[in-house]
């Protein structure tokens, strides 16, 4: 099956710093990737749709200047949490649909962010 | 607009007994329905999907789900639960009528399944 990886798997940072999370499709190309946020024991909330070669599309209520998304290649999307605060602590998960299997999204293992 | 409801926060079942996780949905167009499972600190693993065709869908690890259009439900079932099935289960829906070829998934709140030996 298709594989999506995320790096790092967990990160701890100080308040005010920026953190970059990478999402890679390892064995297929993804023109679109999705970024989700998940609070403990809660559902996934879609943050934004990452589009290769163009601007990301953000969901209502998500600050685009705080959560910077770059989709520079067909296998890599990055989410940068800028000036992180403790309330940004969460589990961030990316997903990518695969061409020919667009009704199925493949999820990364997630990144646990803790902001002190 | 699309939405998904998983009415149970947690389902407890003894190993070997049947397992059912409930899901109801609402979409304006044709529903594309999915079930995913999540183990602690892990991403989501795909279990099964309904796009069209037979209402009974068989998926991974012995799971199946039945699409019921009149009741707008897509309950997940397993005839005989295993302790290893203990995890968080998510139902998701997307509108099959969307012009966006990938679509956006709307997830339910999740149901924690606890299977006891």
Q: Note the pLDDT tens digit of each residue in A47-85.
A: 999 988 889 999 999 999 999 999 989 999 999 999 999
Q: Chain B: nearest CA to A77, how far in angstroms?
A: 16
Is A108 in Cβ contact with B43 (below 8 Å)? yes
Which pLDDT band holds residue A1 (cuts at 50, 70, 90)?
A: low
- pLDDT of residue B7 exceeding 80, the answer is yes
User: Residue B108: which of A41, A43, A105 has the nearest Cβ?
Assistant: A43
Which pLDDT band holds residue B4 (cuts at 50, 70, 90)?
A: very high
Q: Which residue out of B7, B30, B41, B43 would a mutagenesis test of the A interface target, given it has the greatest number of A Cβ atoms within 10 Å?
A: B43
Residue A96 contacts residue A34 (beta carbons within 8 Å): yes
| CA nearest to B78, candidates B18, B31, B24 | B18
Which pLDDT band holds residue A102 (cuts at 50, 70, 90)?
A: low
Q: Chain A: nearest CA to B50, how far in angstroms?
A: 9
B97-110: per-residue pLDDT in tens?
665 656 678 899 99
- pLDDT of residue B18 exceeding 90, the answer is yes
């Amino acid at each position: 099956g298709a594989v999506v990886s995320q790096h790092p798997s967990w990160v701890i940072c100080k308040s005010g710093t920026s953190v970059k999370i990478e999402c890679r499709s390892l064995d297929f190309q993804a023109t679109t990737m999705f970024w989700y946020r998940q609070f403990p024991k809660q559902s996934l909330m879609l943050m934004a749709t990452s589009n290769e070669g163009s601007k990301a599309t953000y969901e209502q209520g998500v600050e685009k200047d705080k959560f910077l998304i770059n989709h520079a290649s067909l296998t890599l999307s990055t989410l940068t949490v800028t000036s992180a605060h403790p309330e940004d602590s969460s589990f961030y998960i990316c997903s990518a649909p695969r061409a020919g299997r667009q009704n199925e999204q493949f999820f990364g293992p997630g990144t646990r962010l803790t902001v002190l | 607009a699309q939405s998904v409801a998983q009415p149970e926060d947690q389902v407890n079942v003894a190993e070997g007994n049947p397992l059912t996780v409930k899901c109801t949905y609402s979409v304006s167009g044709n529903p594309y329905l999915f079930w995913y499972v999540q183990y602690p600190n892990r991403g989501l693993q795909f279990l099964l999907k309904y796009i069209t065709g037979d209402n009974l869908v068989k998926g991974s690890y012995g799971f199946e789900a039945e699409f019921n259009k009149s009741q707008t439900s897509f309950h997940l079932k397993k005839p005989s639960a295993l302790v290893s099935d203990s995890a968080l289960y998510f139902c998701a829906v997307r509108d099959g009528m969307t012009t966006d070829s990938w679509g956006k998934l709307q997830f339910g709140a999740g149901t924690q399944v606890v299977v006891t030996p």
